[in-house]
Structure 1
């Protein structure tokens, strides 16, 4: 675990202790955005969290054509170009779940989501936002608000 990941994991505890703490978080696969975030982090001697969504980057390539390992290499190349130290970098996966495959049956979509999450973890991503809130092709219809929370209606 990198020093940046350890600091990221302790943000809440540091804030509870009265320390001002946080981390810049950028969710983009655009090289100019990533490089700008890394240049800013380098100038401030700050950690930077770069995230990719399940649609952008996944084990099948996503719409960017990058796997998690490929995205890691892409970001690290931009870090080197920006003069940003890799040990201040945290990589994250955002909304990791069946969303790219929601048009498929839930069992198939969830199997693909599991493979994607494994690929993110294997590539060294340490911040994972798991999201299975979207319906898949064979999931039942969404219940009406009046059925879910009748006390509010």
Structure 2
């Protein structure tokens, strides 16, 4: 079991045992939001889940200009600056699917979505929310 998988399993096990708790989770690529979240996690000794959407970050750069690997490096740099331990950081991709390319025919948009999801997985993101609910051209 990977570190992130073990932490997710631990959260589920604690909940099943009746314990209350949660995890700080944001979906943002804004540096101040990420910094504040990491500082909060460092102060409280808690895990942090930071997610990016397919529009923000993708294998073509998204509107932030970052690929999943570049976003990971950006977040890890912020974690280093805030004193947040890397082993408590969970990265996720949110609503990963053809949305950025929905103006294209479905087959083409889905091929791009598959390449994007591969880029997220290759960059070490462990929470992948797949979403193919949008209509394509």
Please give the range of the TM-score, normalised by the shorter of the 2 chains: over 0.9
TM value normalised by structure 2: 0.96
Cα RMSD for the two superposed structures? 1.0
Structure 1 residue 5, shift from structure 2 partner: 3.9
Cα distance in 1, alignment partners of residues 41 and 111 from structure 2: 36
2:101 is matched with 101
Q: TM-score, normalised by structure 1?
A: 0.86
Aligned to 2:82: 82
CA distance in 2, matches of 1:8, 1:25: 13
Partner residue, 1:46: 46
CA distance in 2, matches of 1:38, 1:95: 22
Q: Contact 1:49–1:91 (CA<8 Å) still a contact in 2?
A: yes
Corresponding residue for 1:91?
91
**Contact 1:5–1:90 (8 Å) recurs in 2:** no
Distance 2:121 2:23 in 1: 21
What is the number of equivalent residue pairs in this alignment? 136
User: Contact 1:8–1:23 (CA<8 Å) still a contact in 2?
Assistant: no
Q: Distance in 1 between matches of 2:13 and 2:40?
A: 25
Bigger Rg, which one: 1
Secondary structure class of the residue paired with 1:104: coil
Segments of 5+ residues of structure 1 without an aligned counterpart are 138-153
